[in-house]
Amino acid sequence: MRSFSDHASDAMDHARSLVPSARIRGTFNCPGAVDPAHQERARAKDPQPVWIQQASGAGGRSNVADLRALQAALKAAAG
């Protein structure tokens, strides 16, 4: 299982809370590249968005490894 950022975990928890009766078979998170100009605007905010600290490391995402991880997550969820 991949470790998610606190921000991604919070978002998944919120999604689960929207439909508490849903049976969640799995989750998947993949960071995505963020346009450098958008990152610059986000860094200028006070407070900064919680995702900004990880944005610079997400360049080139999603990639082949991410797609393989998604495929594995879908297979695991399908049981």
Which residues neighbour 59 within 8 Å (Cβ) at sequence distance 6 or greater?
Answer: 33
Answer left, alpha or beta for residue 22, where phi above 0 means left and psi between -120 and 50 means alpha.
beta
Query: What does the pLDDT look like over 11-66, one tens digit per residue?
Result: 999 999 999 999 999 889 888 899 999 999 999 999 999 889 888 888 888 899 99
Give me the torsion for CA of 21, 23, 26, 31, rounded to 10°.
-30
Global confidence as pTM: 0.68
